[in-house]
């Protein structure tokens, strides 16, 4: 895996375990001598963390367009402050969520036109794309159950099962359109098994020159 660089993203619904898997992959790559930067959206910068609080406070009612633009505000800050400098240094960026989350949540689930989201991508993340995305796929009820166990309760966790099913379907649709980049991982299995598959896919993808 010499010369590995660029962005690897982890995507999935609530409770899919992507945060754990992002951390495990970062540790694995660091153990092999790579310089790795871990980040997460929304957030990852001082301003981004403030925007994150606004976005996730359960008591806020937020207009879909206001929500969409706040995600892009956080992303604009993260890209300039963290991601672009890291890529220039040759660091591997592992991000817990990126633009596919916006397409799945604000596009497929909230109903905002996907064309608007791709226009915003051209403005905010021009030419910045993960070379590999792991979609941790899990049944919605199982994911929400895992999260409730962890006592997480933000504005999105209070959404209906139908909402989360639209998110899941959105992610699967993106993966079907871009199978080279987006790898679907069955996240209902134990974390160790999931991690092993992720490492295997990453190595294969790297050896095949992507």
Q: Which residues bind ligand TMP (CB under 6 A)?
A: 14, 41-42, 71, 97, 101-102, 105-106, 156
Least Å distance between CB 90 and ligand TMP? 25
Minimum Å gap between C-beta 75 and ligand TMP is 7
Q: Whole-number minimum distance, CB 178 to ligand TMP, in Å?
A: 17
Task: Yes or no: say if 135 and 88 are a contact pair by the CB < 8 Å rule.
Answer: no
- Least distance (Å) from ligand TMP to the CB of residue 184? 18
* Integer CA distances (angstroms), 163 to 14, 29, 106, 154, 207, in order: 12, 35, 11, 14, 38
Residue closer to ligand TMP by CB (options 45, 102) is 102
Closer residue to ligand TMP (CB): 71 or 134: 71
Helix 191-207 vs helix 18-31: angle between axes, to the nearest 10 degrees? 50
Spell out where 138-203 has E strands. 182-186
In terms of CB distance, is 11 or 205 closer to ligand TMP?
Answer: 11
In sequence order, the β-bridge partners of residue 93 are 7, 37
Q: Of 133, 67, 150, 66, which is closest to residue 98 (Cα–Cα)?
A: 133
* Closer residue to ligand TMP (CB): 41 or 137: 41
Residue 96 forms beta bridges with which residues?
A: 10, 40
């Amino acid at each position: 895996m010499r010369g590995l660089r660029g962005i690897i993203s982890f995507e999935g619904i609530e409770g899919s375990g992507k945060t754990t898997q992002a951390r495990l992959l970062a540790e694995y790559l660091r153990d092999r001598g790579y310089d790795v930067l871990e980040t997460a959206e929304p957030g990852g910068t001082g301003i981004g963390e403030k925007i994150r609080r606004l976005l996730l406070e359960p008591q806020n009612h937020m207009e879909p367009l206001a929500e969409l633009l706040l995600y892009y505000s956080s992303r604009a800050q993260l890209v300039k402050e963290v991601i672009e400098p890291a890529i220039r240094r040759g660091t591997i960026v592992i991000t817990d969520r990126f633009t596919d989350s916006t397409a799945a949540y604000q596009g497929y689930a909230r109903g905002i036109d996907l064309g608007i989201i791709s226009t915003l991508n051209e403005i905010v993340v021009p030419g910045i794309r993960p070379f590999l995305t792991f979609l941790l796929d899990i049944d919605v009820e199982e994911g929400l159950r895992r999260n409730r166990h962890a006592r997480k309760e933000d504005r999105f966790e209070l959404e209906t099962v139908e909402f989360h099913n639209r998110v899941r379907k959105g992610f699967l649709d993106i993966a079907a359109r871009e199978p080279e980049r987006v790898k679907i991982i069955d996240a209902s299995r134990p974390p160790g098994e999931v991690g092993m598959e992720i490492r295997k896919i990453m190595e294969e993808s790297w050896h095949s020159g992507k």
